[in-house]
Amino acid sequence: MKLTIDFFIAWLRSLRQCFSENRDYLTRLDSAIGDADHGINMERGFSAVYEQLEKQSPKTVEELLKLTAMTLIRTVGGASGPLYGTFFLRASAATSGKSELAVEDLVTLFEAGLGGIIQRGKAEPGDKTMVDAWIPAIAAVKACAAQSPGDPAETLQKAAEAAETGMRNTIPLQARKGRASYLGERSVGHQDPGATSTFLMLDAAARVAENS
């Protein structure tokens, strides 16, 4: 399979269903250490992205990711809106001029995106945020890129698995960023909702890649 615009469109469209299925799960996680809206926010955002993709036909991966970014920024709100919005904005810039991405390009894309998240949110590894899912995921993509030519589907599968581990590893952490940080020690023992939505996004990507 190839990482062309068709793959990215299929992936982004699949996220509508992904977040509608996982809406209550994410919201339940956010109830424990937040304000019970993360699933609702993600569902709203990716439904809007889906609708945009029905109406508009971006020509390049760059345009597609930018449209996704702007749509998320305009519809999600909360902390996750600007964070995922910035992720896709930076990712868009990183794919400029490319019509097909190699596995190394995925490293560039994800690193640019994560850079945006960190710049906006100032989170450090271990702060119990979505960053804790992205970091191991990107490390896994890098490892795959090292064995050229990396297989995109396999790479995304490894990224999802690493994100899942990162997600689970947020459980024992005490939150130091976002709403969960208000809870202090009471945030320990709960899985971070944003790290979970990051895993779900990568997992969806892996499944789309596998089936295409």
Partner 1 sequence: MKKLINRPENVVAESLAGLVAAHSDLLTLSQNPLFVAWKDAPVSGKVGIISGGGSGHEPLHVGYVGRGMLDAACPGDVFTSPTPDQIEAATRAVDSGAGVLHVIKNYTGDVMNFELAAELCQAEGIQVETVLVDDDVAVKDSLYTAGRRGVGATVLVEKICGAAAEQGHKLSAVAAIGKEVNQRTRSIGIALTSCTVPAAGKPTFEIGDQEMEFGIGIHGEPGRSRMQIKTARDVVRMMTEEVVRDLPFQSGDSVIALVNGMGGTPLIELYLVFGEMIEVCREKGINVVRPLVGNYITALEMAGCSITLLKADDRLLTLWDAPVHTAGLRWGR
Interaction of residue 193 with ligand ADP, rule CB under 6 A: yes
Selection from Mg ion, partner 1, ligand ADP, none that 166 binds (CB < 5 to 8 A by kind) is none
Q: Which of 192, 81, 195, 175 is nearest to 135 (CA)?
A: 195
- Report the b/e string of 117-134 with b at 16+ CB within 10 A: bbebbebeeebbbbbbbb
Interaction of residue 38 with Mg ion, rule CB under 5 A: yes
On whether the CB atoms of residues 163 and 97 are closer than 8 A, the answer is no
Among 67, 73, 131, 200, binds partner 1 (CB under 8 A): 73
Selection from ligand ADP, partner 1, Mg ion, none that 40 binds (CB < 5 to 8 A by kind) is partner 1
Interaction of residue 31 with partner 1, rule CB under 8 A: yes
Helix 38-55 vs helix 23-33: angle between axes, to the nearest 10 degrees?
140
d(CA 95, CA 90): 9
- Smaller CB distance to partner 1: residue 157 or 187? 187
Among 14, 22, 52, 75, binds partner 1 (CB under 8 A): 75
Q: Which of 88, 163, 102, 153 is nearest to 130 (CA)?
A: 163
Judged by the rule CB under 6 A, the positions of this chain that interact with ligand ADP are 30, 34-35, 37-38, 41, 78-80, 83, 117, 121-123, 129-131, 177-179, 192-195
